[in-house]
Amino acid sequence: MIRVLLVDDHAVMRAGFRMILEAAGDIEVVGEAANGREAIVLASTLHPDVICMDVQMPDMDGLEATAQIVTDPEVASAVIIVTTFDRDDYLFQALAAGASGFLLKNAGPEELIGAVRVAAAGDALLAPAVTRRVIERFAAGNGSGVDAGAMAGKPRVAVSEPAPGAIPVELTERENEVLRLLAQALSNAEIAARLYIGEATVKTHVSNVLQKLGARDRVAAVVYAHRHGLT
């Protein structure tokens, strides 16, 4: 069962999300918070798998709360930003803060459920249009002051930058193949089918790729791949 914490200052919105998520059968809403400060407290006590976080809230907004939650060593929750506002500043601040996904509130029920499942599995989730904006902004080196390394939450491994299209020296041939497929926004299951290997093996390769590139999640790895011509 996937444990979810809902964070939104509108009780009606939280009730709607609860109804949608709990109807999925494999998701349980374990708590609700009306602002970022409450979210931090509940994240540390409830230890949810996924936190659905609004941005604009009183007392403390969702971006600040996300940054504090993802840097807490006692909390392993993935954070999905769920907002009404399709704004680049929110998007890039959310990624820099450590969010694993960015979803608009007008998304359909299946998209919300799917986002929670993806985040719970340890993957990052961005809508296709949002992914394109991330890639374009970071590939151009104009990520509102936040580069792929900042998105990763830690310095990259200290190695020389590869030439465009070259295999990063840290990666094996298979890991390079996986990175290229990640850059096409394929899921682990789709990568497994493409390479004729098991999904568990793909997950191991993805983990190795992220570690070697110093990338926090798949989004940072995708940005890396596009910046270095590996697509």
Q: What is the pLDDT of residues 36-84, one digit of tens each?
A: 999 999 999 999 999 999 999 999 999 999 999 999 999 999 999 999 9
Using a cut of 0.75, tell me whether the model's pTM lies above it: no
Which pLDDT value is given to residue 210? 87
Phi/psi region, residue 115 (left: phi>0; alpha: psi -120 to 50; beta: rest), is alpha
> Which domains does the chain carry?
2-126 (3.40.50.2300), 142-227 (1.10.10.10)
pLDDT tens-place string over residues 166-217: 555 578 999 999 998 888 777 788 899 999 999 889 989 998 998 888 877 7
Which pLDDT value is given to residue 17? 97
pLDDT tens-place string over residues 90-138: 887 887 788 888 888 988 999 899 999 988 987 776 665 666 666 566 5
Which pLDDT value is given to residue 45? 97
Strand positions, DSSP E, 61-163: 78-83, 101-104, 125-126
Start-to-end CA span in the chain (Å): 36
